[in-house]
Amino acid sequence: MSATAPPVPRLHIVTGKGGTGKTTVAAALALALAGPGRRVLLAEVEGRQGIAPLFDAAPLPYAERHLAAGLDGGEVFGQAVDADEALLDYLDMFYKLGSAGRALRKFGAIDFATTIAPGLRDILLTGKIKEAVSRTEAGRMAYDAVVLDAPPTGRVVKFLNVTVESGRLAKTGPIGKHSRSVARLLHSSLTAVHLVTTPAAMPVQETLDAHRDLLAADLPVGHVVLNKVAGTKTVDVTAEQLREGLRRTGLPSDDGLVDALLDEYAASRVETEAVDAYRDRLERLGRPIDELALLPEGVDLSGLYQLARALRTSLGETRRAAAEPEGDDHGE
Amino acid sequence: MASDLELDTLLSDEGKRVIACCGSGGVGKTTTAAALALRAAERHGRRTVVLTIDPAHRLAQSLGMEALDNTPRPVDGLEGGSLDAMMLDMKRTFDDVVASHTTPDRAAEIFANPFYQAVSSTFSGTQEYMAMEKLGQLRASGRWDLIVLDTPPSRSALDFLDAPARLARFLDGRIIRLLSASTPGSRRSMLSLMGASAAVFTRVFNKILGGHLLTDVAEFTASLEDTFGGFRKRAEATFRALQGDQTSFLVVATPEPAAINEAVYFSRRLTEERMPLDGMILNRLTPVGASLPAERALGAAAALEEDDPDSPVAAALRTHADLARRRASEQRVAARYGAACPDIPQAWLPTLGAEVVDLEGLRDFGATAAGAAAAA
């Protein structure tokens, strides 16, 4: 490790409660990190194929594949990591299995091993991610950053806490060594776990809980992303003003419409005030908060780039610092 | 609005004994299940129990209860009727099943096995399996007219249907059988049966998993043999019961592409399996009150802002335009469900003003859901 500033995170782990848009945020973050000349890997591990539709792309394979152009000329690669494939890879690496590996799979042994030892599955998945983070090609890092669309907040600490979860597995031998090196990366400042939430009670509560659990497990928390924020100006408007304004612009100005518009406006002001309250609660965590606007039309490809630009602005500092590759070996 | 699902008819139908709310994570299954159960109890006088599986204690919050344990507890503050609520404790349910199927000595042996501890607490599929088991127990007790089931927070709604069978298959699979047939230390029987792959398997996996794990598994399966038969039969019986007319499946979704796709997959699957799918509940539509096209509102706002950039009327109009555009986009997404599953009645529900955290909120939710078809 260099003795100067702490290294900028190169592994970005994105988690959040179901429905908060963590996959969308992970994808936007990958685009944002892929500045000029940079290569970013965007990976998912739950077999959901949630990334491909966001990019209007075919389902992602196990092998890394070019996915999209990043902001300002970088490149984003995509990958769907699968535990069974990762175990075969792993066996092949350490035991030179060749075709015997395929026979094992046919026999159901691969499935069996990852089923009787759920901790093994997580080690294989995080191990594959770690490999991508630390891989070098032609004297430089293969990826400037890796973004992981991780399991939701309820499961993420268990997923990342590989050394604890592997307690039942062999402590000596390659898997023990492997899990320790994965754990070193995940607990280092090269990693940042970002928490995605929407401005609503349960997602915010889960974010606070996850933050506490991550700290307790000594895992590095990065940013909090407050997603789907509906913006409203908070100025007072009266029925008379509204009626007059509608009339002046040639719109219908009957009482029904005026009342309905007032109701909508009042409701969305309540919502905005609620957002402020949630933001206050999240700010007490002391983490940077990135805010992403709710896109009225839903998130299509252009919306995704719009979110990426918003994230890049708030990640500005990180991004500039990361443009100078660190010379350390992160734990190997 | 495409609402044609008559929820009150469903909730008051005395022939229906089980209503299962299914859907992907984060769509409001738990709230929906609790609200329907409350309405069945209060409005239709049915002795109802709601079984939730979600470990986030959301139903506990919704019902204003401090803690839910593995037995149904009466809900306080009802406006008539009888409602119990419970939260599945999968470990305890598993322990109970083991205890009721074997001698105390054997049970103690099983509980002490590290592999059993893993299976009963972290195994993927155990939650779904135990939900089926608990559902079977509640049905068998005869204490309730109606059981409303909230399904586990899995990544896919299909897991609820598939996981129990997968777990049963796994526990009954050939590797497990071979392991339990061979005593630890002498693997000759495995070798002869499984051939060269098995040799690689035991050598490599003992290194990776640690020799003790395979031993634990072998001992576990040997001592559980009789209990397994019970599990499998019970899970199968419960699954078959779900196919009958006494059951009603409701698929829950939100107007987002992933949730709608999941709802479509799930509905197709239920239809294939001849499971009684009675409706789709679409939660969290953006509420829009004013019937003014977004484009006209935006045009007027721009005109007003020429005179006064901070025009409050323009702010109100822009708010309306945002809501209307959000709603239109949601309806486009939600319409996919109707196109893919034209025969399934739907109830479209707007987001209610405040989040549902108490009985009053659940009551409003239930009334809105039941009234959706009438309002359409």
- By Cβ distance, the residue of A48, A103, A118 closest to B155 is A48
- By Cβ distance, the residue of A46, A104, A242 closest to B316 is A242
For residues A273-292, average pLDDT? 94
Residue A2 has pLDDT above 60, yes or no: no
Sort out which chain A residues have CB atoms less than 8 A from B200's CB and list them.
97, 100, 103-104
For residues A156-183, average pLDDT? 73
| Distance between CA atoms of residues B290 and B177, nearest Å | 66
Residue B22 has pLDDT above 50, yes or no: yes
> Does residue A293 sit within a domain?
yes
CB contact under 8 A, B197 and A100: yes
Residue B317 has pLDDT above 70, yes or no: yes
As for how many domains chain A has, the answer is 1
**Residue B167 has what pLDDT?**
66
Q: Which of the pair, B193 or B205, is modelled with greater confidence? A: B205
What distances in angstroms separate CA A321 from CA A5, A134, A312, A317, one per listed residue? 10, 18, 13, 6
Q: Which of residues 213-252 of B touch A (CB under 8 A)?
A: 213, 217
Residue A167 has pLDDT above 60, yes or no: no
Sort out which chain A residues have CB atoms less than 8 A from B313's CB and list them.
237, 241-242, 244-246
For residues B231-239, average pLDDT? 71
Residue A239 has pLDDT above 80, yes or no: yes
- Which domain, by its residues, includes A23? 11-230+287-322
A interface mutation test: which of B54, B172, B190, B313 has the most A CBs within 10 A?
Answer: B313
What distances in angstroms separate CA A136 from CA A140, A318, B165, one per listed residue? 5, 22, 44
CB contact under 8 A, A103 and B197: yes
Closest CA in chain A for residue B333: A298
Sort out which chain A residues have CB atoms less than 8 A from B310's CB and list them.
233, 235
Residue B58 has pLDDT above 60, yes or no: no
What are the pLDDT digits (tens) for B144-154? 999 999 887 66
What are the pLDDT digits (tens) for B332-347? 999 999 999 999 999 9
For residues A27-44, average pLDDT? 96
Residue B196 has pLDDT above 60, yes or no: no
Q: Which two tokens stand for residue A2?
A: 């260099």
Q: How far is A249 from chain B (nearest CA, A)?
A: 6
**Residue B156 has what pLDDT?**
64
What are the pLDDT digits (tens) for B28-40? 888 899 999 999 9
Tell me what the pLDDT averaged over chain B comes to.
Answer: 82
> B193: pLDDT confidence band, cut at 50, 70 and 90?
very low
Residue A267 has pLDDT above 80, yes or no: yes
**Residue A148 has what pLDDT?**
98
Q: Which of the pair, B215 or B50, is modelled with greater confidence? A: B50
In the chain, the amino acid numbered A79 is Q
For residues A205-225, average pLDDT? 95
Q: Which helix (H) or strand (E) is A311 found in, with range?
A: helix A301-322
Q: Which helix (H) or strand (E) is B346 found in, with range?
A: strand B346-350
For residues A74-87, average pLDDT? 92
For residues A182-193, average pLDDT? 94
Residue A208 has pLDDT above 90, yes or no: yes
Counting residues of chain A whose pLDDT is more than 70, the rounded percentage is: 83
Phi then psi for B278, rounded to 5 degrees?
A: -105, -10
For residues B98-109, average pLDDT? 84
> Does residue A173 sit within a domain?
yes
In the chain, the amino acid numbered A87 is L
Residue A280 has pLDDT above 90, yes or no: yes
Please report, for the domain that includes residue A183, its CATH number. Answer: 3.40.50.300
Nearest to residue B20, comparing CAs of B125, B135, B127? Answer: B135
- By Cβ distance, the residue of A18, A118, A265 closest to B319 is A265
Residue B194 has pLDDT above 60, yes or no: no
Residue B273 has pLDDT above 90, yes or no: no
DSSP string, A6-42: PPPP-EEEEEE-TTS-HHHHHHHHHHHH--TT-EEEE
Interface check for B325 against chain A (CB to CB < 8 A): the answer is yes
> Does residue A88 sit within a domain?
yes
Instruction: Yes or no: say if A104 and B197 are a contact pair by the CB < 8 Å rule.
Output: yes
For residues B309-313, average pLDDT? 91
- By Cβ distance, the residue of B209, B256, B353 closest to A117 is B209
Residue A1 has pLDDT above 50, yes or no: no
**Residue B183 has what pLDDT?**
42
Q: Which of residues 270-299 of B touch A (CB under 8 A)?
A: 287-292, 296-297, 299
Residue A323 has pLDDT above 50, yes or no: no
For residues B227-249, average pLDDT? 76
Instruction: Yes or no: say if B373 and B285 are a contact pair by the CB < 8 Å rule.
Output: no
- By Cβ distance, the residue of B210, B296, B357 closest to A251 is B296
A interface mutation test: which of B57, B170, B177, B205 has the most A CBs within 10 A?
Answer: B205
Q: How far is B206 from chain A (nearest CA, A)?
A: 8
What are the pLDDT digits (tens) for A114-128? 766 667 788 889 999
Q: Which of the pair, A173 or B249, is modelled with greater confidence? A: B249
CB contact under 8 A, A261 and B197: no
What are the pLDDT digits (tens) for A140-151? 999 999 999 999
Q: Is A173 exposed, middle or buried (0-12, 13-18, 19+ CB in 10 A)?
A: middle
CB contact under 8 A, B208 and A174: yes
Q: How far is A241 from chain B (nearest CA, A)?
A: 7
Residue A281 has pLDDT above 80, yes or no: yes
**Residue B53 has what pLDDT?**
74
**Residue A328 has what pLDDT?**
42
Counting residues of chain B whose pLDDT is more than 70, the rounded percentage is: 74
> A326: pLDDT confidence band, cut at 50, 70 and 90?
very low
> Does residue A134 sit within a domain?
yes
Q: Which of the pair, A309 or B193, is modelled with greater confidence? A: A309
CB contact under 8 A, B175 and A260: no
**Residue B178 has what pLDDT?**
58
Whether the ipTM is more than 0.85: the answer is: no
- By Cβ distance, the residue of B205, B289, B329 closest to A264 is B289
**Residue B274 has what pLDDT?**
85
Sort out which chain B residues have CB atoms less than 8 A from A264's CB and list them.
287-290, 316, 319-320, 323
Q: Which two tokens stand for residue B85?
A: 């609520």
CB contact under 8 A, A19 and B303: no
Instruction: Yes or no: say if A120 and A113 are a contact pair by the CB < 8 Å rule.
Output: yes
> Does residue A247 sit within a domain?
no
Sort out which chain B residues have CB atoms less than 8 A from A18's CB and list them.
24-26, 153
**Residue A322 has what pLDDT?**
45
Residue A216 has pLDDT above 60, yes or no: yes
B interface mutation test: which of A105, A114, A253, A265 has the most B CBs within 10 A?
Answer: A265
CA angle A60, A64, A68 (to 5 degrees): 70
CB contact under 8 A, A18 and B153: yes
> Does residue A45 sit within a domain?
yes
Interface check for B259 against chain A (CB to CB < 8 A): the answer is yes
Sort out which chain A residues have CB atoms less than 8 A from B291's CB and list them.
257, 260
Mind listing the domains of chain B with CATH numbers? 7-292+318-375 (3.40.50.300)
Instruction: Yes or no: say if B51 and B70 are a contact pair by the CB < 8 Å rule.
Output: no
